[in-house]
Structures are given as structure tokens and as C-alpha cells.
């Protein structure tokens, strides 16, 4: 070891996939960076929830590029900085105070959930609109506590219609208890994710988030 201190390398995001609900396809999909294509994930999908965050995603017509923000744990207390991929800041502040500017700029609120799938992979699942409402109803009235001890399963979908617009939402259900074998499977990823998020918040989350750019095809125009 020399006299100079070596810079500490920040841990890379350990998330293997970033899933979003595709209403028309009735399934989730993720963007494959290597092949530059969207990959569909057929149901059923089963996972253990680690944590839920709040973020903003969308598409800027003015800049013709994607919109993103940092992730926050407490949306009513922590500032969000909403930017385009060209570096323009759309808004900064507590979400309820900047919501109007965010929406006008093309951004939409998303719930960002980090989960462990049945293969032990760390996965991010992003919800918006009606799917957020569906998840909130699923976890209300004490059900939220069950997330610490049970697997969540998505096996079927619900079809909706608002005016002339048809759309779908996933049906959430608790499937089975988390066993010691499950805990042994997920703990390495839990520890890795915990360390990553600690660095994420300690180093200024608005400038530390790993995101992907989006094109017109990636943006769902439905408000659901």
C-alpha cells in the first residue's frame, strides 16, 4: 500500500431487471440494454418485497427524451429532483409542491419496489396510475405487515374500461409463507442491496441513480 489513499469505488446497482407493467400485453417487461429491446415477462410472477420507494418517470416532448428523478423513501419529507436525460431540471422539491410542474413537463409518479424473485434475483418493479391504486388497496388494513412474512404472487389480471379506453391491472395475492430456506436464499442480495442504497443516499441520490433512457415506444400514453 502506498502513501496515497485510493478512492473508494461506489458499489454498482445490483438490480438485475427493471420491470414495468404493460397494460396491452397483460404482463411485465424490462429493457434489455445489451440487445436494446423490450423483453416480456409472462405471468405468474412471485416475489418477496424488500422496500418501496417513490420516483418520477416519463417523457419530455420539449426535449424529446426521457424523464427521471431520484428515489425517496418519504415522499412528504424528502426532496425530489426531476430531470430530463439532456440534463434539464424540470422541478425540485417536495413532490406535492412540484407535482403540477412535473406533470406539465411530462413526468408521472411511480412507485418503485425492490423485490427478490423465486430465483434469488434482485428485481425492481415500477408501478404507476391504476396499478399503484391496486397495490395500495392490496396492502391496506394491516395487510402491509404480511409483506415481511409472505410471498406476493401475480397470476391473473383485471380488465378495466374508462370511457373508450380499455386497460388492465395485475391482481396481487399472498401465496405462501417465507421459510428459512427462502431467507438463506435472499440474504446475500439483501445485504448487497442495503449497502448500495446506503451509498445511494449518502452520496446524493439525485445524482447517483442508475437509469435508462427511453424512447417514444417505451412511454405508455394511458393515464393508468
Residue-wise DSSP of the chain = --SSPPPPPPPPP---EEEEEETTTTEEEEEETTTTEEEEEPSPEEEEEEEEEEEEEEEETTTTEEEEE--BS-TTTS-EEEEETTS-EEEEE-HHHHHHHHHHTTEEEEEEEEEEETTS-EEEEEE-THHHHHHHHHTTTTGGGGGGTEEEEEEEEEEEEETTEEEEEEEEEEEEEPPHHHHHHHHHHHHHHHHHHHHHHHT-GGGT-------GGG---S--
Domain ranges of the chain: 17-214
- Residue 221: its pLDDT value, please? 36
- Residue 200: its pLDDT value, please? 87
At 7-51, the pLDDT tens digits run: 455 567 889 999 999 999 999 999 998 889 999 999 999 999 999
- Residue 141: its pLDDT value, please? 76
- Residue 10: its pLDDT value, please? 56
C-alpha closest to that of 127 among 4, 13, 224: 224
**pLDDT over 70, % of the chain:** 86
pLDDT under 50: residue ranges of the chain: 1, 3, 6-7, 206-224
CA distance linking residue 55 with residue 48, whole number of Å: 20
* pTM of this structure: 0.85
- Residue 219: its pLDDT value, please? 39
What count of residues does the chain have?
A: 224
Amino acid at each position: 500500500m502506498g502513501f496515497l489513499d485510493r478512492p473508494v469505488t461506489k458499489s454498482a446497482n445490483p438490480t438485475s431487471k427493471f420491470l414495468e407493467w404493460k397494460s396491452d400485453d397483460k404482463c411485465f417487461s424490462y429493457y434489455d440494454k445489451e440487445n436494446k429491446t423490450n423483453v416480456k415477462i409472462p405471468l405468474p410472477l412471485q416475489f418477496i418485497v424488500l422496500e418501496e420507494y417513490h420516483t418520477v418517470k416519463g417523457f419530455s416532448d420539449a426535449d424529446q427524451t426521457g424523464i427521471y428523478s431520484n428515489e425517496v423513501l418519504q415522499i412528504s419529507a424528502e426532496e425530489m429532483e426531476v430531470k430530463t436525460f439532456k440534463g434539464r431540471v424540470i422541478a425540485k422539491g417536495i413532490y406535492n409542491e412540484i407535482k403540477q410542474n412535473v406533470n406539465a413537463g411530462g413526468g408521472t409518479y411511480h412507485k418503485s419496489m425492490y423485490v427478490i424473485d423465486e430465483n434469488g434475483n434482485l428485481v425492481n418493479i415500477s408501478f404507476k396510475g391504476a396499478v399503484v391504486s391496486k397495490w395500495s388497496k392490496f396492502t391496506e388494513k394491516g395487510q402491509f405487515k404480511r409483506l415481511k412474512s409472505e410471498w406476493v404472487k401475480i397470476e391473473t389480471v383485471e380488465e378495466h374500461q374508462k370511457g373508450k379506453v380499455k386497460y388492465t391491472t395485475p391482481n396481487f395475492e399472498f401465496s405462501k409463507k417465507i421459510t428459512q430456506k427462502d431467507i438463506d436464499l435472499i440474504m446475500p442480495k439483501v445485504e448487497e442491496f442495503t449497502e448500495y442504497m446506503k451509498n445511494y443516499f449518502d452520496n446524493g441520490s439525485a445524482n447517483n441513480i442508475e437509469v435508462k433512457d427511453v424512447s417514444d415506444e417505451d412511454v405508455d400514453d394511458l393515464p393508468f
